Chain A
Amino acid sequence: MAEPLTATAGNGSRAKSVDIYAPQWRNFLFVAPYLFIFAAFLVFPLFWGVWLSFHKADTFSSGRFIGFDNYVRLFRDGIFLQSIWNTFYFVFLTVPALALIGLFLALCLNRQTRSAAVLRTLFFSSSVLSVTIVTLIWRIVYIPDMGLLSMIYGFFGAKAPAFLSDPDLAMIGIAIATVWWCIGLPMMLFLSALQQIPQDIYEAAALDNANRWQTLRSITLPSIKRTFVLVVIIQIVFQFQLFGQAWLMTKGGPNNLTKPIVLYIYNTAFQRWDIGMGAAASEILFLLILVAAMAQFLLTRRKADA
């Protein structure tokens, strides 16, 4: 993101200060503490996980090498394929909603009034709550008969939809709770992007008698395009790792329709004790996130070039 800056800073000073920037072993000491932790608790587990995924291993005994068997079993398992689909479906439900509602709120609340400040506080406040509190709140909203939703529907004499047990609604129910929980960050990011737009452009537009819609379309939106992409990518990567909401609200049901990949990993490794296959599923998750990260890299690259 800051590549242009890096480049200039690097080139500008190298020539005259070669002595300062000569490679020195003791400089390594600055990065050593972090690299140790990084190697021990991220790199090593990553490779250890790959090793496990080629083994028939359970929680209490590391087993024998079985090559790609765990992967073959995974892709023969309808539930695993279902969980991949569920994860994408969840991302599809939440990310556009988060981006669009976040943008909408930012546009509406980007003003220096007291009420706007209060509302900004309100919309960000849910983001600081733990996932377990969020799910507790939303289970109480959805619970039949005594939930908030059924109270509201009951007020109008209707029966509330069963958000957590209806096969068509369960994932939507989880998505709604998630949007409620996560809406703060996109809104904040958009707000700060909006404040970066130079005022004089707006003043010029006002002189041109541009109406609000035209201003929005030709000035505001183009100026925050980058932020929009940023928000979408952050949210894709984050929502892809869905676990807590699904586990605590539906346990992955009904009929595995709300079981995301991470929950599948949990089921396999910690409930069925099949560490090897759980590790194999983890590697698939890693590959999928890697693709998203590569897409991000290429996308931001292209933007920078253009």
Chain B
Amino acid sequence: MASHSAEIRGRSFGDRLLFGLVILLALAMAGPVLYVIALSLKDNKELMVDPHSVFHMPYTIKNYIDTIGTSNVFSWVLNSFIVAGGLTVLTLILSSLAGYGFARLNFPGRDALFVIVLLGLAVPEQAVLIARHQIFSWLGLHNTYPGLILPGLSSAFGVFLMTQYFRAIPKELDEAAILDNASRFRVFWKVLLPLTVPAQATLGIFTFLGAWNDYFWPLISATKKEMFTLTVGIASTQQNFAQSQGIGFLMAQAVFAGAPILIIYLFFQKYIVTAVSGAAVR
């Protein structure tokens, strides 16, 4: 970084211009969120009469109390955690097993199967959605956690990523163990798996965020309010904007809904950044 700091030292006009631009962009990032927070702290009736009142006192936490008292936002958050967490764990397990299988072991038809899985990468979720919805109806899986988790589990991305990662590990490591008569599973579990932690982190974070943000599938599968995930739950309140609940209440609900994942992000930021970067390096 030495040369970089050398670059920074000369504070030219250009530097200041760039700095200004970045600050402007930062304001554009933060502004809408701050506005939403400010709205959430206003009395609904006052907002109706004078929208500009958002910029001055009095503020109130009534909307937050109402949210805690009456909103379903907590059960939505919980459902999202169950679905995203469950999917992440299962994806890690299945992808690691399959990745090891494809990268290290041989079985009849292996290469053909791997090519088919790779082709699966090119199938967008939306292209199979209608058929999947019918199939899940037959299986009675709608409005269940497995119904929300299984579609994401079929994604080929994890297997692809893990296979690549296992292939990059030097073969000498496991060959030695196998020549020592360790079982294949033992080699996988004891020798190789610990080495794949960075890849697991990358895959885990992408899977979790993807599931957390998924909207289309829960929209058509989780149709009972007990099973609403956060995305569907928040969306269900949006259409009747201001008509019934009041803007302030809706915003408080949104803040509640957004807070858990933001807090997690802030806590695990370092790992997330490393993990995301990990995806780019290869």
Contact = CB atoms under 8 A, between A and B. Distances in A.
Physical contact A–B (CB less than 8 Å) = yes
Contacts, number: 300
B168 A9 contact: yes
8 contacts: A28-B107, A31-B113, A38-B154, A52-B134, A111-B4, A126-B29, A202-B4, A243-B216
Interface of B: 1-8, 18-19, 21-22, 25-26, 28-33, 35-36, 39, 47, 51-52, 54-55, 94-95, 97-98, 100-102, 105-108, 110, 113, 116-117, 120-132, 134-135, 150-151, 153-156, 159, 164, 167-168, 170-172, 175, 178-179, 184, 188, 209, 212-213, 215-216, 220, 230-232, 234-235, 238, 241, 247, 250-251, 254, 257-258, 261-262, 264-266, 269, 272-273, 276-282
Interface stretch (A72-80, A156-164, A167-175, A285-293): A285-293
B123 A132 contact: no
Contacts of A120: 273
Contacts of A298: none
A interface, over-half SS = helix
Given A35-B113, A45-B131, A191-B277, A128 B98 contact: no
A271 to B, nearest CB: 11
A84 interface: no
Interface string A183-220: 10100110111011001001101100000100000000
B151 A41 contact: yes
Nearest to A42: B154
Interface residues of A, number: 111
Contacts of B8: 111
A48 interface: yes
Contacts of B126: 241, 243, 261-262, 265, 282, 285
Given A137-B254, A140-B36, A206-B6, A130 B127 contact: no
Contacts of A122: 26, 29-30
